[in-house]
């Protein structure tokens, strides 16, 4: 499997607190977790790369794209968003992390606001498995805790997920649909909530396990689906009525 | 609209604490809330009535059935469960409350275990609206609290709901899919979590509002659907291929 | 209820065959069907109106928008598409007809290609009701036929519908998901297949019935949903953990 | 993978026409197709075996159960149906073929009538792929034809499928949701329509491919899910609120 972890890579260079937690960048920590889990060939790309590191060729060679962004959603080129959307529709998996709920590719593919309630309070989050037979929940038991996290609360402005895997509980009284999937075209999308930049969330074993499970789940089932486009069809089965 | 509230009516006669909260029975408190909301003609029936008050005629005249049970699920006659299932499939709405997650009609219609994690702790429950445009959430804003309730926690052994309206937060650290809908045949089913027998939950305005919304949502869209059964079909449209 | 029927209004002025079938424009025929069914106050707007007749004020006053387009999808201003999307998310219903499967608002809200297989053959289409309890199927029995229609075939590039109401059978051997619904934000979307411009489809009683049912189904359940946006939340329920 | 193909094995002994097409029984033809596809260890069992060949031990060792039945649904012991249901909820896959739409395990797990319209006419069926990215559709292109089959028509009395993979077109003018999936508990269920006993359907390459894909798709994602049952939960996370 060929996996590409895309990181916005901005906080890391502006905020020493983030740089301390993720000295090689958040994308490298996420990629390290995937390599550790044996998730195939794992590469990284960032906003600052030419074409954000998401050329036509590279996307064509990518089976699952993992996306983290926050401050610079608007700096992502619309032409690149077009490409990502097209690749998902033909089968590439997409794993969307935390604040990337507001990224252009996620909003484009879902068609809704993707907005939510939030609070930077750095307290405990508990994620409950609500779909114990789902492959993304494999090995997580009833769920797990992240010791310090930003709070995200409902309502989350998404289409009803095809599958809901995790729901989070927050100390301050909120709940959130923390792990959810959608299929779009031939591609699979998994959104996973945790991952505020100032906390070592992507170093935590359970979080890495979920992301690895998600990447495995999102891999294409077959060769790229060549959508017929909107094309006129000959009466190829016209003989059926003969 | 013709609504029938079915109550098991057992706790009320065994436990003075329950009788104090619901002197006329829980079913009458639920019915009173519906009458208050103008939900049409609202009647009640109980386990102790002949045929549990659910004769063929009465079910045929019922548009929405509301069900509360707990101690005596096993005492419900299977022939009556058959009738309830059949009426739901032909269009009768079914609103299932609290411990009736384990009632025979609910389990029969869903086909799964319907089991859950629980704790009688009598602390606060917060219900969040996760689908703000849903008619069952009308008038409830972001959600509401029930001051004292039993805890129900995930995993809840249900098929993925067609629509998820509420998620509950509990002080002890759990979450629960508290308001969920399914369509089965021509009928609509709404499950709503709160309502432990020792607390005055069914006297609370927001809870009554949700149940009234649920009953309104569950009413049949048309006349009873006469399922063709499993019948041989003449080639009535055979001329299509001429 | 306030309904607005939007028509592209281009074929009618270029093709005498279309003008003969729809002398007042397709939008007026669709509107006439809705008025006949008593669907509330029904108005029309076209591509040629200032801002395509879809000003902020008019959309704010519209409860359900019906959309037919084909030749001029690209001429619809993106700012208007933004508005339509925003209004659907806050609760406006949207009924999308025939070739508007490729319209900007539909593609924007669904996030997929919305492409399909097609053939202009003008033969019989049979629509089967696959969800007999659905309000959009009310009064249609097992289904109905349209004597002459363009063929649309699978695969249809849409997200899996929340509800599938009709499937079409075509003489040439194809099938199509002809009536499908999605909820996006607080809004409801209904796609309905028939309606090629050269055939009198929108004069047919059953087709009018489906569109009227769809408009009724799509009306908002409550006042416009004011999405919180992506906003910071105070620990309003912080007392829960005291 | 451990696969068990269950066959009713009645037609084969009563009807020489069926015996001629399936001299070793339909279950053996289905099993042969799976072995040919390399679907792991494939065994068979029939109604006539002690406990229908579905002992507790054997079901515990089965990862995917394939089921064909027609004449003798009522002869299947309810205790065996209980076991099959329980095993599906803990993760065993279930592939349900043709007339087994009316089998006890399928109806039990879905909770609906599962009835349909049908006609024994032995003409052509065309199956269209409506979800080209689905693993069950892998290798099937746009779809395929079965030269001679019984007709099944809508409405099919099932809960809305989680995923719809195939829709069939019949010469006589009907359509049918021919390939559909549901998840129940930790188990996956796939229904596939073709397979009337008098036609050599289970010898056809495309049909065998679909069943092999379905078996692969339905295999458990992890170890058997041990449902907590309906059990009281200690405040294990009570420290969260400290």
ipTM attached to this prediction: 0.95
Give the tens place of pLDDT for each residue, D122-136.
999 999 999 999 999
- Report chain D residues whose CB lies below 8 A from the CB of B174: 233, 237
What's the predicted TM-score (pTM) here?
0.96
- Chain D residues with CB under 8 Å of a chain C CB are 126, 128-132, 142, 153-156, 160, 163-164, 167-170, 173-175, 177, 241
Say whether D184 and B102 touch across the interface (CB within 8 A).
no
Say whether B142 and A156 touch across the interface (CB within 8 A).
no
Taking CA–CA distances from C238, the nearest residue in chain D reads D241
pLDDT at C235: 61
What confidence category does residue B30 fall into, taking pLDDT thresholds of 50, 70 and 90? Answer: very high
Taking CA–CA distances from D142, the nearest residue in chain A reads A228
What residues have CB less than 8 Å from B162, skipping those under 6 apart?
B181, B182, B183, C162, D160
Output the average pLDDT for chain A.
94
Give the tens place of pLDDT for each residue, D17-65.
999 999 999 999 999 999 999 999 999 999 999 999 999 999 999 999 9
The whole-angstrom distance between D81's CA and the closest CA on chain C is 28
Say whether D128 and C174 touch across the interface (CB within 8 A).
yes
The mean-pLDDT minimum among A31-40, A224-233, C18-27, C136-145 falls in A224-233
Intervals of chain C under pLDDT 50 = 238-242
Q: Does residue B196 sit in helix, strand or coil? A: coil
- Report chain A residues whose CB lies below 8 A from the CB of D139: 222
Taking CA–CA distances from C93, the nearest residue in chain B reads B133
Task: Quote the crossing angle between the two packed helices A205-218 and A26-36, to the nearest 10°.
Answer: 80
Q: Does residue B72 sit in helix, strand or coil? A: coil
The whole-angstrom distance between B38's CA and the closest CA on chain D is 31
Q: Is the pLDDT reported for residue B233 higher than 80?
A: no
Facing B231 at nearest CB: one of D117, D173, D231: D117
Residue pair B159/D184 in contact by the 8 Å Cβ criterion: yes
Q: Is the pLDDT reported for residue D242 higher than 60?
A: no
Instruction: Name subunits touching C (3+ CB pairs < 8 A).
Output: A, B, D
What residues have CB less than 8 Å from B76, skipping those under 6 apart?
B47, B52, B69, B103, B104, B105
Facing B138 at nearest CB: one of C139, C162, C221: C221
Output the average pLDDT for chain B.
94
- Integer Cα distance of B86 and C205 in angstroms: 32
- Integer Cα distance of A4 and A8 in angstroms: 13
B203 — phi, psi (to 5°)? -95, -10
pLDDT at D227: 75
- Integer Cα distance of D186 and D90 in angstroms: 5
pLDDT at A111: 98
- Integer Cα distance of C10 and B55 in angstroms: 60
Nearest to D140 by CA among D160, D121, D126: D126
pLDDT at B238: 44
What confidence category does residue D238 fall into, taking pLDDT thresholds of 50, 70 and 90? Answer: very low
* Higher pLDDT among residues A241 and A200, named by residue: A200
Facing D111 at nearest CB: one of B110, B157, B240: B110
Taking CA–CA distances from A93, the nearest residue in chain D reads D133
Q: Is the pLDDT reported for residue B242 higher than 60?
A: no
- Integer Cα distance of B76 and A13 in angstroms: 66
Say whether B111 and D115 touch across the interface (CB within 8 A).
no
Residue pair C46/C52 in contact by the 8 Å Cβ criterion: yes
What number of other Cβ atoms are within 10 A of residue B223's Cβ? Answer: 11
pLDDT at D232: 76
pLDDT at C211: 98
pLDDT at D125: 96
Q: Is the pLDDT reported for residue B44 higher than 80?
A: yes
pLDDT at A240: 45
Say whether A187 and D240 touch across the interface (CB within 8 A).
no
- Integer Cα distance of D170 and C174 in angstroms: 10
Say whether D138 and A221 touch across the interface (CB within 8 A).
yes
Q: Is the pLDDT reported for residue A103 higher than 90?
A: yes
Q: To probe the interface with D, which of A182, A213, A221, A225 has the most D CB atoms within 10 Å?
A: A221
Say whether B138 and C222 touch across the interface (CB within 8 A).
yes
- Report chain C residues whose CB lies below 8 A from the CB of B186: 132-133
The whole-angstrom distance between B91's CA and the closest CA on chain A is 24
Residue pair B93/B228 in contact by the 8 Å Cβ criterion: no
pLDDT at A238: 44
Say whether D133 and A183 touch across the interface (CB within 8 A).
yes
pLDDT at C238: 44
The whole-angstrom distance between C153's CA and the closest CA on chain D is 9
Q: To probe the interface with D, which of B107, B112, B151 has the most D CB atoms within 10 Å?
A: B112
Residue pair C229/A118 in contact by the 8 Å Cβ criterion: no
- Report chain A residues whose CB lies below 8 A from the CB of D171: 240-241
Taking CA–CA distances from B162, the nearest residue in chain C reads C162
C-alpha to C-alpha distances, A129 to A123, B163, B174, B238, D146, nearest whole angstrom: 20, 18, 11, 51, 42
Residue pair B63/B93 in contact by the 8 Å Cβ criterion: yes
Give the tens place of pLDDT for each residue, B158-183.
999 999 999 999 988 999 999 999 99
Q: Is C213 exposed, middle or buried (0-12, 13-18, 19+ CB in 10 A)?
A: buried
The whole-angstrom distance between A111's CA and the closest CA on chain C is 4
C82 sits in which H/E element: helix C78-89
Say whether B222 and C135 touch across the interface (CB within 8 A).
yes
Q: For B135-155, what is the mean pLDDT?
A: 96
Taking CA–CA distances from B240, the nearest residue in chain A reads A241
What confidence category does residue B150 fall into, taking pLDDT thresholds of 50, 70 and 90? Answer: very high
pLDDT at D228: 72
C-alpha to C-alpha distances, C152 to A14, C177, C194, D128, D171, nearest whole angstrom: 53, 9, 9, 13, 17
Taking CA–CA distances from D183, the nearest residue in chain A reads A133
Give the strand pairing for A143-153 and A117-129.
antiparallel
- Report chain D residues whose CB lies below 8 A from the CB of A126: 237, 240
């Amino acid at each position: 499997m060929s996996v590409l972890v895309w990181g916005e890579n901005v906080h890391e260079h502006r905020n020493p607190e983030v740089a301390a937690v993720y000295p090689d960048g958040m994308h490298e920590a996420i990629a390290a977790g995937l390599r550790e889990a044996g998730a195939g060939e794992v590469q990284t790309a960032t906003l600052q790369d030419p074409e954000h590191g998401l050329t036509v060729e590279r996307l064509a060679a990518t089976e699952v794209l993992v996306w983290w962004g926050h401050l610079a959603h608007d700096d992502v080129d619309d032409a690149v968003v077009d490409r990502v959307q097209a690749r998902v529709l033909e089968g590439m998996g997409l794993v969307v992390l935390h604040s990337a709920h507001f990224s252009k590719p996620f909003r484009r593919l879902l068609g809704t606001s993707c907005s939510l309630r939030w609070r930077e309070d750095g307290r405990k989050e508990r994620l409950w498995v609500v779909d114990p037979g789902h492959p993304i929940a494999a090995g997580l038991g009833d769920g797990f805790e992240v010791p310090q996290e930003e709070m995200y609360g409902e309502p989350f402005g998404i289409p009803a997920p095809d599958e809901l895997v995790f729901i989070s509980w927050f100390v301050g009284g909120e709940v959130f649909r923390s792990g959810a999937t959608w299929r779009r075209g031939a591609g699979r999308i998994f959104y996973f909530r945790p991952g505020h930049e100032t906390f070592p969330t992507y170093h935590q074993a359970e979080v890495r396990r979920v992301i690895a499970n998600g990447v495995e789940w999102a891999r294409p089932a077959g060769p790229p689906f060549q959508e017929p486009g909107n094309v006129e069809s000959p009466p190829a089965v016209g003989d059926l009525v003969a």
